[in-house]
Structures are given as C-alpha cells and as structure tokens.
Structure 1
C-alpha cells in the first residue's frame, strides 16, 4: 500500500467521512464539490469540447477528442483506432459532474487512445429515477445514430455512475439495442435497497462512507420507485447476454458487496467478468490519479480492457466525433 493511499485515506476519514453521518445537504454538497482545488489539463493530442448550450440534450457534457492527423504526420496506432468511451460520473445521483471526474476521463482517453464523452445527466432530487437512466440511454443511442458503432463503444462509470452504466446495459438489452463492446464499473452502487452485508461489516473500516448514508441518499433518486427495480438497482436484474465487464472495488468499502454480488451473478449468467478487489483502497480510487500510484495502475488496467474489447472494431479513419455545436478548449 502506497504512502499516497494512506494519506488519502487519512484525509477522507478525517474530513469526508464525518459528513456522511449527517443529514443529506444537497445544496451544500454541490457547492463544496464545485469548488474543486485542481483539475487536470487535457492530455497532449486531445481537445476538450464542451456541450452545455440549450438544446444539446441528450448529449450534454464534455467530449475529449483526439486531434485529427495533420498532413504529413506519421500514422499512429492511437489515431488509427476508433473507440469511444461513454462515461457516467458518480455522486449518489445528486451531485458531481463531468468536470469533477476529469482525472478519470482524461486519464482513460490518453491511455486507451479513445474519444471520451462524459455525460452531464440530470440529477436528483429535481430529476428522480428514471431521468438519469433515460439520459444515459439517449446518449448511447445518439452516439450510435451519429456513426459510432456499438462494437467500438465502452460504457464506463463510477459509484452511482457505475450502477447506472450496468442498468443502461440491461435496459439496452431488454429494448433490443445493439450492445456496446463492454463496460467498466468502478465501485458501482448496484443495490439501492442497501442489503449487502458489507454495509454493516465494513462500517467503520471504510474511510469514506458510513454504512447508513446510502439509505438516506437512495430516496433522492428513487422518488416513488421501488429500491429493487432492476433498472435502479441492477443487482436485482437478469444479467444474461451482457458484454464483458471490468469491475474494481476496494476491500474495505461499505459498498463492496454491491460489486461482489454483481460479479458473481454475471459470471453465473455466462458474462465475461474481470473483477479486482483492491486491498485497503478507497471508494473509486482511480479518481485519485495521477497522485496515487494505485490509481494510475487502475487506469492502465482499464485502458487495456477497453483496447481489447474494442480491438475487433478498430477501423482507420472512422471517427465521427462530436457535432459542430461544441466549443473547443485546446490543451
């Protein structure tokens, strides 16, 4: 375990964990999250293109796009391979944004040689279930309609966004859509009914969350919907026929069983699953890249998965990219 991980866990235990024992303060949490201390720059060879103008729904969010090959420039593997990551950020369905998760999305884009679209889905409680799911499905379908082949797309997400990514796969399968090449789930929140044993057994070990916080947060998203609806809590879904899954979670997380149960059920349903449990690592530790070496390694592993599952779909020069209504911020 690195000293960086120990430092981050100390910080979370001292400053983040106590807040999870208090009543949920939606406005306060959003305000604190918006005051981020540091944000990475787009990696070399990529442009950041934001879509926040009215009328851009359902593709509201951020594109991180590989630059087109300049005339006379040597051909590179990264530019010749067409792959896209649709990223769904975490935050309990009620806070965070594409900007808060740039350490992950920028890191994945660079490592996987992929264009990344980070979706700004509607948040609860103003927009309860199924608003976030509807936005994720609409974004995926718009990517496909604009020329991105399903076999070149990976859906990824963390925490609530990880549960949302898995729910989107189930809903797409049920609707008969062509499925993406795979999915990446970081510490996914898959059981809004909070029935996992680790909610209790890891309470006090998790440096980030107390076990009881999830029962307070879940109703913000669920509204009047049952906590066991398979599109809200995909641990209750039939997982047959899904594409390969890459899942990471920390051994001391209160949400650990949300990962273990999904991984076991998916394998039993015949789904290819890669699942790693990081000893002593905090919730969604890839977000601590590049500071934490374990986070960098997690992004490296994820990129290898993304490249592998989209490998057969790579086609030189086949990158539709975003539409012209975006604003571009060059790195």
Structure 2
C-alpha cells in the first residue's frame, strides 16, 4: 500500500496537475511559449557549492555541468539527462538527485543542458548527446552510468542505441526513471491507466512529443526509442508507477529488451505517480537507495 506521504503527494499533484502540468495541450503550448520569452534558470542551487565542485563546460554550443566531490577523487561516473517533456529545463528535483549521487557515491556527474523543443529536436539533439556521452564513456572505459527521467529517459535510451550502433565502449548501465519511450502515445493500453494519472495525459504529451519529433515521424526511433533495436544494450534498471500514463510503454520496453537478451531490473511502484523516485516520499527514498547501491555494486564489479 502506498505510504501516507505518497498519497498526500498524489493528492497535491491532482490539484496542481490539472492546471499547470501536461494534461491539457493548451497549457502545454502556453508553457512552451512562456519559456521562449522567459527562459528558466538552469544553474544548480547555491547550497551545493558547500559540498560539490561545479564546473561549467560547453559542448556543441550548449552547456554541461560537471559536478564532483569537493575533496578527494571521484569513485563513480554518471551522466544525468533531465526530464521535462523536452520543453522544460533541469529542475530542483534533478539537482537534488545529482547532489545525492555526489555526496553518497562520491560520483562525478555530468548534467548536459540540451536544447529544448521546438528549437531542439530529436534528429539534432540525440546525435549530439550520443557524441558527448561517447567522449565520457570512452574516457572512463565504459565505467559510466546513464540516468534519465521521463523525457530524459527516452533520450538516454535513444543515445544508448546510437552508441551501440557506433561501436566502442557502452555505458555500464542505463537507469530509466518513468521513461517516456514513445511520443506517439498510441499504445492501446494507455487509456486504462490515464484516468489514474494526476499530471499527464495522451493529448498533452502528444503536443510536446510532436515538437520534439520536429520533421521526423513521431514514431521514428530517435524520437520514440521503443521502436529501435534493443539488442546490445547495457543492463537496465527501470522505475515506473502504476498510476503513470507511461506505465504501459515501460512494460513494452521491458518485454522487448528481455527478448533481446538485455538484463532488466524492473521496479513497479504500486499507486505511484510519474517520476516518484525523485520525490521526498518513502517510496522515492527507497528507489534512490536502490539506484545508489546498484551503481556502487556495478563500479566495484568493473574495477575488480
């Protein structure tokens, strides 16, 4: 049974989600238009300066933050691709995750601030993210975990598929948090879940997904990596809630990946909503504990 904190969080999301999240395409359009006039801040919270060394790099014309422990060497390497339906910037919950990875794992974390739709589209951003990830993965001899939530999860899978096709080292693991893997939202099983999701809807996400697809067919694997090949991918850890409209496509991914011989560590949170592992609730803390222990175990195994 979901915790009390989780139920309260979902109730709050139900009130707020109907007005400011991704249920109504008109509201999503307004979000996009507003972000063109008043871009969101992208930098980490100032309090992170006390514990983390933060360096800003520029790759391919867009910024990337490198966050490391302030003292001593880094013990793990992680790339974090933020969510936000491809139309919103990195947020406080992403920076909190990055802070925990640095503090608890002593990880070196890269956080690319990739171009958002409609300026950034799948056909231009995915290859750039894959190229940048290739630099990091090859530098670390494959000892790099790729984490993405929501849209960032779709971007992580698309980049991993492109890395596989290009040869060289692959990430040591993919960690996908409520990944958005099919921007068409055409899965016939979605309506059975949609009414339980307080934040997301097919219509709202289709609008954002069409912007991300740009000139591509939205079903193209660069925009909807569920339609790409799964063979040759690294082990995957997946988190999804039963009250998340993306739940059915995450099950599709699990089935396709396992058929292709990919090791999938699958976690389905009963009664949980979108990106619940990032929230300050017991279920979210347990998910983050699992993420950290998984990366720690992978790192130890790779270095023995």
Tell me whether the two structures share a fold, i.e. TM-score over 0.5.
Answer: yes
**Higher Rg:** 1
1:40 touches 1:102 (CA, 8 Å); kept in 2?
Answer: no
Q: 1:106 to 1:238 in 2, by over 3 A?
A: same
Q: 1:218 to 1:210 in 2, by over 3 A?
A: same
| Correspondence for 1:5 | 6
Q: 2:163 aligns with which of 160, 172, 175?
A: 172
Q: 2:48 aligns with which of 33, 36, 42?
A: 42
Structure 2 unaligned segments of length 5 or more: list them.
none
Deviation of the 1:190 alpha carbon: 0.5
Q: 2:140 aligns with which of 133, 148, 167?
A: 148
User: Secondary structure of the residue that 1:163 maps to in structure 2?
Assistant: helix
The alignment status of 1:206 with 2:197, answered yes or no, reads yes
The alignment status of 1:297 with 2:286, answered yes or no, reads yes
| Correspondence for 2:97 | 104
Residues 49-86 of structure 1: CA distance to partner in whole angstroms, max 9, x if unpaired?
334xxx543672222202343xxxxxxxxx5x632111
Structure 1 unaligned segments of length 5 or more: list them.
70-78, 316-331
Distance 2:261 2:137 in 1: 26
User: When you count helix as a share of all residues, which structure comes out higher?
Assistant: 2
Distance 2:38 2:255 in 1: 36
Q: Tell me: higher relative CO, structure 1 or 2? Use CA pairs within 8 A at least 6 residues apart.
A: 1
Q: 1:304 to 1:44 in 2, by over 3 A?
A: farther
Q: How does 1:1-331 map to 2 (within 5 A)?
A: 1-19=2-20, 20-23=23-26, 24-25=29-30, 26-28=32-34, 34=40, 41-42=47-48, 45-51=51-57, 56-57=59-60, 60-69=63-72, 79=73, 82-97=75-90, 101-144=94-137, 147-150=139-142, 152-288=143-279, 291-314=280-303
Deviation of the 1:272 alpha carbon: 0.6
Distance 2:141 2:216 in 1: 33
Distance 1:17 1:202 in 2: 16
Kindly tell me the number of residue pairs found equivalent between the two proteins. Answer: 297
Alignment TM-score, normalising by the size of structure 1: 0.82
Q: 1:17 to 1:311 in 2, by over 3 A?
A: farther
Alignment TM-score, normalising by the size of structure 2: 0.88
